[in-house]
Amino acid sequence: MGTIQSSVGLITGIPIQDTVEQLMGISARPRDLLSSRTAALQQEQVAITELTALAVGLDLASAAFGRETLYETTSVASSNSEALSVTQTADSVNLQNQQVRVVQLAQTNSFGSRDLGSSTESLGYSGQLKIETGGFIDSSAALEDLNGGRGVERGQIRITDRSGNSAMIDLSGATTIDDVLASINESTDIDVRASTSGDKIVLTDKTGKTLSNLSVSEVGGGSTASDLGLRGINTASDSASGRDIYSLSAATSLSSLRDGRGVGFGGEDDIAITLRDGTELSIDFGDFSREATNASGTTAAADPNARLTIETVAAGGDYDGLEVLFVNDVGVAAGSETVELLEGTYGKQLVFHIDEGNTTAANIADALAGNEELSALFTATAGGDGSAAVSTADFAVVDGGAAIDPQSNPTIEDLLRVLNEADPKLQASLSASGDAIELTDLSEGTGTLTIADAEGSTAASDLGLVFEGEADSTTGIALQSGLQSVSLSTLAGGAGLGTLGTISITAHDGSTADVDLSAANSVADVITAINESGLDIEADYNDQGTGIAIRDLTGGTTSNLKVSSLDETAAKLGLEIDTTDTYANGNNLRAQYVSRNTALSELNQGNGVGTGSFTIQDSTGQASIVSLGALESQTVGALIDQINSLSIGVEASLNADGNGIQIVDTSDGEGTLKITDRNGRTSAASLGIAGTAESRVIDGKVTSAIVGSQGISVNVNASDTVATIAAKIQDAGQYASASAAGGRLEILSKRGGTDGRLAVSTTGFDIGLRQTASAQDAVIEVGESGTATLFHSSDNVFSDAISGLSLTAKKVTDSAVDVDVTKNNSAVVSSVTNFVSAYNRLVDRMDALTAFDEATQSVGLLFGSGEVLRMQSQLGNLFSGRINAAGDIKSLGEIGVRLSDSGKMTFDTSKLTAKLETDPDSVKEFFTTETTGVAARIKETVDKLAGVGNSVLLNKNNSLQQRIETNNDRIASYNVRLESEEARLYKQYYAMEEAISKLQTNQSFIGNIAPITM
> Which amino acid, one-letter code, is at 192?
V
CA separation for the pair 152, 176 (Å, rounded) = 10
Asked whether the predicted pLDDT for residue 1014 surpasses 70, the reply is: no
pLDDT in tens, 700-721: 899 999 999 999 999 999 999 9
Res. 198 pLDDT band, cuts 50 70 90: confident
Question: If residue 980 lies in a helix (H) or strand (E), which one and from where to where?
Answer: helix 952-1007
In this predicted structure, what is the pLDDT of residue 2? 46
What is the per-residue DSSP string for 9-40?
Answer: -TTT---HHHHHHHHHHHHTHHHHHHHHHHHH
pLDDT in tens, 209-235: 999 999 999 998 889 999 999 999 999
Asked whether the predicted pLDDT for residue 7 surpasses 90, the reply is: no
Interval 8-31 mean pLDDT: 81
Asked whether the predicted pLDDT for residue 429 surpasses 90, the reply is: yes
Interval 808-821 mean pLDDT: 93
CA separation for the pair 846, 91 (Å, rounded) = 36
In this predicted structure, what is the pLDDT of residue 950? 85
In this predicted structure, what is the pLDDT of residue 438? 96
In this predicted structure, what is the pLDDT of residue 310? 96
381 Rama sector, left if φ>0, alpha if ψ -120 to 50, beta otherwise: beta
In this predicted structure, what is the pLDDT of residue 238? 94
**Percentage of the chain exceeding pLDDT 90:** 70
Asked whether the predicted pLDDT for residue 39 surpasses 90, the reply is: no
In this predicted structure, what is the pLDDT of residue 1013? 63
Interval 369-396 mean pLDDT: 95
In this predicted structure, what is the pLDDT of residue 784? 84
Higher pLDDT, 811 or 5: 811
Asked whether the predicted pLDDT for residue 125 surpasses 90, the reply is: yes
In this predicted structure, what is the pLDDT of residue 729? 96
**Percentage of the chain exceeding pLDDT 70:** 98
Higher pLDDT, 116 or 1000: 116
Average model confidence (pLDDT) for the chain?
91
pTM: 0.75
In this predicted structure, what is the pLDDT of residue 5? 58
CA 300 to chain CA mean position, Å: 43
pLDDT in tens, 578-612: 999 999 999 999 999 999 999 999 999 999 999 99
Res. 40 pLDDT band, cuts 50 70 90: confident
What is the per-residue DSSP string for 953-972?
Answer: HHHHHHHHHHHHHHHHHHHH
Please report, in angstroms and rounded to a whole number, the separation of the first and last CA atoms in the chain: 44
Res. 1 pLDDT band, cuts 50 70 90: very low
Three-class SS string for 139-171? CCCEHHHCHHHCCCCCCEEEEECCCCCEEEEEC
Asked whether the predicted pLDDT for residue 41 surpasses 80, the reply is: yes
Q: Give the contacts of 63 (CB within 8 A, at least 6 positions apart).
A: 935, 939
Asked whether the predicted pLDDT for residue 512 surpasses 70, the reply is: yes
Asked whether the predicted pLDDT for residue 3 surpasses 60, the reply is: no
pLDDT in tens, 623-670: 999 999 998 888 999 999 999 999 999 999 999 999 999 999 999 999
